[in-house]
Structure 1
Amino acid sequence: MPTSPVLMTAGGEANGMMIRDTSAGYGVPTRVLHWGMAVAILGMYWLGLWMVDLTYYSPYYQLAPDIHRSIGIILLTLLLGRFLWRIVNDKPDDSELSKMERTAARVVHWGFYPLLLSLMISGYLMSTADGRAIEVFDWFSVPAIIENKGMEKPAGAAHALLAHLTILLVIVHALAALKHQFYDRSGVLGRMWSGSSSNR
């Protein structure tokens, strides 16, 4: 008899909502991180494209990059947290996928981590090339490790390229999820949205 997602406490009692990932589906932390980071990454991409065309006299000339950098630092911490959470959790069952589909899914999934990490590091190097720290919403600052103004342009070029590659991978990931959900009827999207497959 199939079981519904539950919250497992330290003692193992059911409490209504699943925290840890299991073979049946994804827990709340994974789903919140997945959708939250997806929205943030898409928003950051749009913000990056928009702010590069701002003129010096625009009221957002300083504000937009400050917001972009601050969110980038926060996303870096969330990415590291997501990576650690993924390591210590079980993986939901994907036996309904073919061997090739499972391999492709793993390549895309694990490809996100080095790609996003490189994207964020290049943004950090570009922003701190002049030796100034990054102020994260006036909450705290992240100091510059390397001061080298000659690094700003190559780091910026790498950052732009990595941003485009990230969005390309997001599109591939989204199309694959939609294909599995609505064509294959595998319930993959349902597991990431509600925690369990709606097609089972």
Structure 2
Amino acid sequence: MPAKNTRSRYGWVSVAIHWLMAIVVIGMFALGIWMRQLSYYDPWYQDGPTIHKSIGVLLFILLLARIGWRSINIRPNDDPILKNWERTTAHLTHFAMYGLMLMLMTAGYLISTADGRQIEVFNLFSVPATVQGIENQEDIAGEIHEILAWTLILLAGVHALAALKHHFINRDSTLLKMLGRDANNTIANSPQKEPEL
């Protein structure tokens, strides 16, 4: 599998970033839900948020890398049997997820730095607090963070169901391309349909 994308498949860099981010986002959501159940005396009461914040910063860096990599790579062609509304919906969903992740991580940053403390990332480096002192900053950013997290996870679920629908019902190359498979071989061996206008 090539490192860069081609017109018929995603390269291994795009594939690796996509699946790594998917796993981390789901894990971060689960960690966030679990942390809300912890009592003050639980040993994870401090450690859970510290891990959550550190991974959040690394995920933000990975998201920027993904956006940068996407900007310098060609995008594989859509499967020719996709309907116009499916193409449009897929593209809008991708942009929505990028936007949601950026806003979600910004809200997380505002929660973590509301008291003026920097974020220590696994004791490797720190992210300074640049915005603090806003009235009720931690509470407001916390509510926004939670709403965005639920929105992102629901949209990601719809995205995953759509990929499975394309794979098992439409039998097109949509999911296979994100697994690094060459769409040309898939298309050649699948029944063709006329695209809907």
> TM-score surpassing 0.5?
yes
Match in the other structure for 1:190: 176
Match in the other structure for 2:191: none
Question: The residue matched to 1:53 in structure 2 has which SS?
Answer: coil
Match in the other structure for 2:88: 103
**Separation in 2, partners of 1:111, 1:140:** 30
1:93-145 Cα deviation digits (max 9, x unpaired): 11221111000000001111111000000000011000000000000000100
Question: The residue matched to 2:44 in structure 1 has which SS?
Answer: coil
Count of matched residue pairs: 184
Match in the other structure for 1:174: 160
**Worse overlay, 143-152 or 82-91:** 143-152
Match in the other structure for 2:186: 199
Bigger relative contact order (CA 8 A; separation at least 6): 2
Question: What is the RMSD of the two structures over their aligned residues, measured on CA atoms?
Answer: 1.1
**Runs of 4+ in structure 1 over 4 Å off:** none
Is 1:34 aligned with 2:18? Answer: yes
1:1-200 superposed matches below 5 A: 17-94=1-78, 95-148=80-133, 150-197=136-183, 199-200=186-187
**Worse overlay, 55-64 or 87-96:** 87-96
Kept in 2: contact 1:54–1:61 (CA 8 A):
yes
Kept in 2: contact 1:20–1:27 (CA 8 A):
yes
Structure 1: where are the runs of 5+ without partners?
1-16
Structure 2: where are the runs of 5+ without partners?
188-197
**Separation in 2, partners of 1:182, 1:27:** 23
Match in the other structure for 1:6: none
Kept in 2: contact 1:31–1:195 (CA 8 A):
no
**Worse overlay, 156-165 or 181-190:** 181-190
Q: Given the two structures, how large is their TM-score scaled by the length of structure 1?
A: 0.89
Kept in 2: contact 1:27–1:195 (CA 8 A):
no
Q: What's the CA shift for 1:53? A: 1.3
